Amino acid sequence: MKATNDQLLSMMLSGQSQADIARELNMSKQQVCRRVNTEEFQTLLSQYRKRILDSVYADLTANARKAVDVLVQLLDNPNPFVAYNAACKILNTLTDYSVAQDLFRDIEELKEIQRSEQQNL
């Protein structure tokens, strides 16, 4: 029975080495290595990573408002160090967010340029 890419991915994600996978699937280590390096497998791996990142992002987004509310409340804390740290965190996060927005905008502009150039070919 030929191993599927899904099986290979599952085994790799469970922490098995390519040698262990090869042994378990009755394949050579070179066969596993070749399969893992195919465009099809790399696409599957990228899709899996994207699903994981999307899931984590959704969880973080769902809790972001709550975290911001806590930081805002800490600004009024009687301990000046706590208030200062909350203010620093808010400002640093705002800066990071602004940088991320700029990067996303730049990426979209580059994608548009790439689409334009491809249409002109």
The pLDDT of residue 22 is 93
Same domain, 79 and 36: no
Residues 41 and 8 in one domain: yes
Question: Phi-psi region for residue 3, left (φ > 0), alpha (ψ -120 to 50) or beta?
Answer: beta
pLDDT at 2 over 80: no
29 contacts 18 by C-beta, under 8 angstroms: yes
Categorize the per-residue pLDDT at 1 as very low, low, confident or very high, splitting at 50, 70 and 90: low
Examine residue 69 and state whether it is found in any structural domain, yes or no.
no
Residues 58 and 4 in one domain: yes
19-75 residue pLDDT tens: 999 999 999 999 999 999 999 999 999 999 899 999 999 999 899 999 999 999 999
Number of domains in the chain: 2
Q: Is 1 a domain residue? A: yes
* Structural domain harbouring 107: 75-121
For 43, half-sphere exposure in the C-beta direction (CA atoms, 13 angstrom radius) is 3
Is pLDDT of 85 > 80? yes
Average pLDDT over residues 87-105: 93
Rounded distance between C-alpha atoms, residue 21 and residue 36, angstroms:
11
Q: Do 43 and 2 have their domain in common?
A: yes
Q: How many CA atoms lie within 13 A of 48 on its CB side?
A: 13
Residue 27 located in a structural domain: yes
